[in-house]
């Protein structure tokens, strides 16, 4: 078998379709010819590539992306399950929470402020009680507290 005969018999050889005699002739040429040996190595590499491609694994996010696309295209029942809806509602919820936070924050700040004022000005409060409740018996306390100095 020469180089061109080997080339035309590669397919039959790889499929096991050669006779025993042809097979021996094929292999004996292969063992003595560097060019044909190289050619067979290249073809075997192609086989290896096919095997590698067979074991490819999709990205772990592929399924989620497909499902999301289906959600966008089709209206499905049990909508609340859909992250599509969550995506729309999420900013609204966040905005609401922020607004609540601001309101509560400003309310408590105000409250703290008035409490602080009450602590800082005890005399004003006593004056208020005295004038509004018409109580004049604060005199003793006044002298005690040193208000009437």
Partner 1 sequence: MTDQELIEGILHRDRNAFQCLVNQYQKQVIKAAYHFVGNLEDAEDLSQEIFLDVIRSLPSFNKSSSLSTWIYRITVNKSLNMVKKKQRRGIMVRIESLFRPPVEHGSTHTTEPSVLPADLEHQEKQSLLHAAINRLPENQRIAFVLCKFEDHTYKQIAEIMKIGLPAVESLIHRAKVNLQQHLVHHFSEYQKT
- Residues of this chain that interact with Zn ion (CB under 5 A) are 3, 33, 35-36
* CB-CB neighbours of 36 under 10 Å: 19
If one asks whether residue 30 binds partner 1 (CB under 8 A), the answer comes out as no
CB of 45 to Zn ion, least distance (A): 18
DSSP codes joined into one string, 2-45: -HHHHHHHHHHHHTT-S-HHHHHHHHHHHHH-HHHHHHHHHHHH
Q: What are the helix (H) ranges across the chain?
A: 3-14, 20-32, 34-54, 62-73, 83-120, 122-133, 139-145
User: Which one of partner 1, Zn ion, none interacts with residue 49, CB within 5 to 8 A by kind?
Assistant: partner 1
Binding residue for partner 1 (CB under 8 A) from 21, 46, 109, 149?
Answer: 46
How many residues line the site for partner 1 (CB under 8 A)? 36
CA angle 141, 146, 147 (to 5 degrees): 80
Per-residue tokens: 63: 């399924």
Binding positions for partner 1, 59-78, rule CB under 8 A: 59, 62-63, 65-67, 69-71, 73-78
Residue 2 Cβ vs partner 1, minimum distance, rounded to whole Å: 14
Report d(CA 3, CA 1) in Å as an integer: 7
Q: Enumerate binding residues for partner 1 (CB under 8 A).
A: 7, 10-11, 14-15, 35, 38-39, 42-43, 45-46, 49-50, 53-54, 56, 58-59, 62-63, 65-67, 69-71, 73-79, 81-82
């Amino acid at each position: 078998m020469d180089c061109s005969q080997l080339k035309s018999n590669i397919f039959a050889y790889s499929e096991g379709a050669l006779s025993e005699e042809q097979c021996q002739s094929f292999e004996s040429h292969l063992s003595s010819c560097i060019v044909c040996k190289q050619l067979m190595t290249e073809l075997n590499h192609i086989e290896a590539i096919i095997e590698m491609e067979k074991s490819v694994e999709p990205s772990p996010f592929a399924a989620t992306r497909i499902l999301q696309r289906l959600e966008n295209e089709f209206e499905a029942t049990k909508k609340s399950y859909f992250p599509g809806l969550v995506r729309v509602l999420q900013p609204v919820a966040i905005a609401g929470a922020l607004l609540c936070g601001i309101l509560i924050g400003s309310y408590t700040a105000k409250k703290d402020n008035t409490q602080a004022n009450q602590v800082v000005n005890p005399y004003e409060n006593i004056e208020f009680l005295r004038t509004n409740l018409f109580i004049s018996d604060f005199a003793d306390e006044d002298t005690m507290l040193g208000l009437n100095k």
